[in-house]
Structures are given as C-alpha cells and as structure tokens.
Amino acid sequence: MAVLAEAAARPARVRVSRKLVVAAIIAGWLALWLILRGTHTLPLGAADLTPLHRRFNELNDAIGAGRDTNPLFLYFFNEIRLVVDHLVTFIQALISQPSYGRPVPVVGWLGVVAVVGYVSWAFGNARVAAAAVAGFVLFGLQGLWQESMDTLALTVAAVLVALLIGIPLGVWAGLSDRVNRILTPVLDFMQTMPTFVYLAPLTLFFLIGPASATIATLMFATPPAVRITAHAIRAVPETTVEAAESLGSTRRQTLTKVLLPMSKRTIVLGVNQTIMAALSMVTIAALIDAPGLGKTVVKALQTLDVGVAFNAGLAIVVMAIVLDRVTTAASVRVENTRRAGGRSAAWRRPLLLAGGVITASCVWLSHTYVWAAQFPGGTAVGSVIARTADSATQWSQTSLSGVTNGVRDLLTTLLLNPFEELLTGSPWWLVGAVLVALGAVLGGWRAGVTAAVCTALIVATGLWQDSMTTLASTMVATTIVLALGVAVGVWMGRSALADRLIRPALDAAQTMPTFVYLVPFLALFGASRFTAIVAAIVYAAPVTIKITADGIRAVPPTTVEAATAAGSNTWQIITKVQLPMSRAALTLATNQGLIYVLSMVVVGGLVGAGALGYDVVAGFSQGQLYGKGLAAGLAIVLLGVMFDRITQAAAHRAARAPSGR
C-alpha cells in the first residue's frame, strides 16, 4: 500500500504530441517573421562573390597551373583520366566516331543494330529483341545516330567500370557485417547528392570532357550496384548456406556454388539499376562537355528550342526503355533457367549459333561498306517530330495559356510566393533555429545536430538566400508530391486492379532521365521556376506513390477485417487504420520525395528556376563564377543531407513508435 501511495503521490508525466510541438514551432516562426522580416537575410547579387568563392577560384587556378607538375596529378588523377579517356575513346571508335583513319566507326549502324538485336534475344526474348532493333533504327531515322551512339558509348564505359567496382564491393558487404556498416553511410551520402553536384568538383581534378563525364557517371551509378548485390547475398537463406558448409564447402566454394548462383537474378536487377542511373547521369554530364544526346538537349533548352529538345529527349527515353527492357528480360531468363536446373531448350543452341553467324555477317558488312556504316538519310522523321513538337508548343501556349497561366499563377500566389517570402524574408538565424528544432523533434537529437551543422555550413557558403529560394521550391513541390502520393498510393494499395493499371506507368516514368521531364513543361509553361517545380512533381511522384502503396498493402488484412467488422466505413479504415499503420512507409516516401524533388528543382536551373541550380550552371559557363558554382553544389549537398537525415530518423522513430507519440 505504501508503494501505491508513493506512486500516486508522484506527479504524472505528461507526454506532448510531436504534432503539437511542430505546430508550436511553426506558429512561433510565423509570429517572429512578422516582426523581424527583412533583417539578417544575407542577400548576395548574381555577379557578387564572397571570399570563399574567390578562394575556390584561386584553388581552381592553382590546380590548373600545377596539373602537369604536381606528383598527385601526374601519377594519380591524370593517370585515372587517361585510362578512362582511352576506354571511352575505344568504345566510341567502335560504334560512334570515325577512327583509325576511317571516315566511319569500326562497326557501322547495321552491325550495331544486329548486335543489339542478338544480345537482346540471347539474354532476353524475341519480343524484347524486336523492340530493341526498332528503337535503335529510330535513332537513325531521327537523324541522331551518332549522338545516340556517343551516349551509349559513355554509358557502357561507365557501367563496365561501375560493375567492376560495385559487384565485388557488394559481395564483400554481403559477407561482412563490418564492411556493410562502413559502406552504408558512404552509399547513403552518395545517393543523397543530386546529380548536378558530382560535376563541379570532378572538373576540378579531371578537367571538362568525356573522361570527367564518365567518372561522374560511374560514381553516380556505382551505389545501386553495391547495395543490390549486398542485398542479394544477404537474402540467401541461412539454412542453405549452413547446409553447404556442413557438407564441407569452403568459403570460396560456398560463394561461387551457392551464394552467387542464388543471387544471380537480383544482381542482374542491380545491373539494370546501374544502367538506368548511368544513362540519367550521362545526359546531365553534357554540362561538362559530354558528347551525345544530352548535349543536344542542353543546347536546345538553353535556346528554348522545344522541337529539337523533344526529338533528342524522345531518343533518350527510347534508349532508356530499351536498356531497361533488355536487362529486366535478362533477369527473368536467369530465374527461369535456375528453376529449370540450368537446362535450356534443345533448339535454342542451334538458333543462337545461326543468329551469331548472321550478326557477324552484319558486322562485317557495316565495317566494309559505306551504306551499312552510315545510316542512310534519316533526318526526315526527326524533322517531323521537331516540327510537330514546335506546332504543339505554339498551339498549347496560344490555346491553353488561360489554363496554364491560371494554374501557374494560382499555385505561385497561394503556395510558392508565401513559402519563399517566409524563408528568404526571415533572419537566417531564425530559419536555422526552426530547422534545428524541427530536426530534433521529428528525428531526435542527432538529426537536430545534423541540421545545425548543415545550416551553419550553408551560411558559410555565402548562398543563404539562393538556398532558401531552392528550399521554398522544394517544399512546395514536395507538398504536392505527398498529396499525390497519398491519394494515388492509397488507391493502389487498396485496389489490385488500380495497382496493375498504374504501376507499369510509374515504372516507365522512373526510367526517364531528369532532362526529359523538363521538355514538355517548358512547352506548356515557358521558362520559369514554375516549370522546374511541375517537372519535379512529375519526376518525384512515381517513387512516392509506389512506397505509399506498398505501405498500405503491408497492413495486415486481419486488422482491416476487424475494423470493418466493428462498423468502420471506408474513410475511417483509411484514416484510422491503414494510414496510421503505414506511418513508417509514409515517412520514407517523404524522404524519397524530398530527395527526388531537390534533384529536379536544381536541374530546373536550365529553364529559369534560378537560385542554386542557376549558380551551378553559371559556374560551368563563366570562369569567374566557378567558385560560386562550386559553393552552390556544396549548398545543395548540405540541403540534401539535412533532409535525408531528418526524414530517415523520423522514419525509424515512426517504425519504433506506431502510436505516433
């Protein structure tokens, strides 16, 4: 009794909901903004430089002056650039550029199409092979054969090196918990960085050109190979490994006879993701003089030539779809072969041999005869596509201007301008305090410390106001993405038919490189920050919708049935059962939505989005602004890291505390 009396005498601990704390923080921010707006906002003119920017410029000049004398460059960076450059040049000589004293590549268009068709059939199926052949013939008909082959050459070079590095590292991480713990934060950081950010620092060490573009591409494409390979190795059942070891298998035999064969399909899917990441990065690397379709798109976007941009963008989409379908079909064939015990149909080997002979004949013809080496004509289709896109653009801007301008003005007035005014008009220390407080409340003290460090470093870059402008666009786009993600994701999670109809479109959308999303919205809305925001919404929505749908589907059916039996209607089941129990998935969807949106908003610097994206692009095109562009890239990284840490920590907390307190 004494114990009970003592417990009753102690004051009860009051647990305050995090939602109330977040609301209080935002309310306090708004109140202080009304009083302090316009003070301590750290503005910086478009042509102004800070001491840090000048030091970056001086560093760039010093590195350029010592590139041929500094031992670190002579025996390390220059050698890496030379090896990568030789690899790229060799592949270009094979399929895209005149070489070895010839006016045409070693293998002309007929040989390339034959090899692509044969490989697609051998590793996939006849339907995929026919689609691949049609896609590559279309490149020639569009008048973009050489540009397409340059893009393919850089992609192949980057993927080869990325897989040579990524698969062994992934196997090592799959076998060793220590290696996995070391690599995970590194891979998280690399995948958090928007694609733009890789370019500026690499040009500092590897100059501008195909070599730097390939190195940036392989760095961007390696993390998926490592992650998926490690996951594949770890996903093999422990009982299977233990059975092999009990039979006397060594570690090497267990790896080569058990782990790798059982992981083959997942590893092939990792190859698919590596190829998709590489193709996306190769197009953006046109900003550092990478040849190919990306350069055509960049030039067209800079001159607002929608027709040319659409024609080249279509070629990029076709290449992405072909490469995606081939590697996906290859993974299916690997699984079917494994289930069949490694046996294949008896008729397949003779057909493969006959196909190999036909392919070799086409390669010889393309090497020997001009008609099989240079694609005949082939500009008519591209001209028709470009003219049609231009006509559609003019029609939409004339006939739909009332609708498009209305949508743009409405969202700009109701969402974008208030967000931007709040962020850019608040004192920097107030915004920093709010970010730290929100990080601590949502993600814990570690997330709060991360937010504090990132905020301080953003201030140090001298680009606080541009960072806040980018943050405003990112927050507006993410808000709309989450609304779409929840609405469509819940529908897909509750309806198998909706999932079957919508998911293929989402999968196809995720194969398209970032540049491609800008083109149709440039036609609709012209060059403006709103164009970048709409493109970011469409770019980020698929991954957010899919994660939300998977979270809704993961709610146990028995729980839903119990709620139904208790008399809950559909709306109550969604809001009181499925969404609360999917809180961890929703937080992860927020994380991915933020990262995807930030990446696309920055790319939107090419079409008038301004802020950090413009700073990065200007740094490549104007030498005196190189240091500012490098600082802008650093600011983008800091924003990405801060978002990623806070939302991931919040996801972990939501998974541990499903009550939401």
Q: Is the pLDDT score of 103 beyond 50?
A: yes
Q: What is the pLDDT of residues 459-471, one digit of tens each?
A: 999 999 999 998 8
Which residue intervals of 495-582 are DSSP H helices?
496-510, 514-525, 529-553, 557-565, 570-573, 579-581
Contact 37, 426 (CB under 8 A): yes
User: How many Cα atoms sit within 13 Å of 146 on the Cβ side?
Assistant: 14
Residues 6+ apart with CB under 8 A from 67: 73, 78, 207
Residues 6+ apart with CB under 8 A from 521: 531, 534, 535, 538
Q: Which residue has the tokens 């305050």?
A: 16
Q: What is the pLDDT of residues 393-421, one digit of tens each?
A: 888 778 877 787 888 888 888 888 888 89
CA 409 to chain centre: 29
d(CA 256, CA 254): 6
Q: Is the pLDDT score of 2 beyond 70?
A: no
pLDDT of residue 11: 47
Of the candidates 514, 300, 318, 283, which has an alpha carbon nearest to the alpha carbon of residue 390?
300
pLDDT of residue 4: 42
pLDDT of residue 160: 92
Residue 304 has which token pair?
């607002």
Helix (H, G, I), strand (E, B) or coil at 624: helix
pLDDT of residue 3: 43
Q: What are phi and psi of 236, to 5 degrees?
A: -65, 130
Q: Is the pLDDT score of 144 beyond 80?
A: yes
Q: What is the pLDDT of residues 473-498, one digit of tens each?
A: 888 888 899 999 899 999 998 888 88
Residues 6+ apart with CB under 8 A from 386: 307, 308, 310, 311
Q: What is the pLDDT of residues 546-597, one digit of tens each?
A: 888 888 888 888 888 888 888 888 888 888 888 888 887 887 788 778 888 8
d(CA 647, CA 478): 13
Residue 528 has which token pair?
């403006």
Contact 638, 459 (CB under 8 A): no
In Å, what is the CA distance from 457 to each residue of 314, 326, 451, 464, 566? 40, 44, 10, 10, 53
Q: What is the pLDDT of residues 31-81, one digit of tens each?
A: 999 999 888 888 888 788 899 999 988 888 888 787 778 888 878 888 888
DSSP 343: -
Residues 6+ apart with CB under 8 A from 430: 29, 32, 33, 36
pLDDT of residue 414: 85
pLDDT of residue 242: 76
In Å, what is the CA distance from 38 to each residue of 90, 425, 471, 612? 57, 5, 18, 21
Give percent of the chain with pLDDT exceeding 70. 93
Of the candidates 550, 551, 521, which has an alpha carbon nearest to the alpha carbon of residue 537?
521
d(CA 238, CA 533): 46
Q: What is the mean pLDDT of residues 367-380?
A: 82
Residues 6+ apart with CB under 8 A from 323: 155, 272, 275, 276, 279
DSSP 555: S
Of 46-60, 79-93, 115-129, 275-289, least confident by mean pLDDT is: 275-289
Residue 21 has which token pair?
């704390």
d(CA 584, CA 652): 7
Residue by residue, what is the 3-state secondary structure of 558-622? HHHHHHHHCCCCHHHHHHHHHHHHCHHHHHHHHHHHHHHHHHHHHHHHHHCCCHHHHHHHHHHHC
Q: What is the mean pLDDT of residues 127-146?
A: 91
DSSP 124: S
Where does the pLDDT of residue 430 fall: very low under 50, low under 70, confident under 90, or very high at 90 and above?
Answer: very high
Q: What is the CA radius of gyration of the chain?
A: 27
pLDDT of residue 559: 87
pLDDT of residue 150: 92
Mean pLDDT of all residues belonging to the chain: 83
In Å, what is the CA distance from 257 to each residue of 170, 240, 250, 336? 17, 11, 10, 18
pLDDT of residue 339: 66
User: How many Cα atoms sit within 13 Å of 448 on the Cβ side?
Assistant: 10
Contact 225, 270 (CB under 8 A): yes
pLDDT of residue 29: 93
Of 67-76, 187-196, 622-631, least confident by mean pLDDT is: 187-196
Q: Is the pLDDT score of 431 beyond 90?
A: yes
Q: What are phi and psi of 550, to 5 degrees?
A: -65, -35
d(CA 164, CA 222): 9
Give the global pTM: 0.80
Instruction: Indicate the Cα dihedral angle 608, 609, 613, 614, nearest 10°.
Output: 40
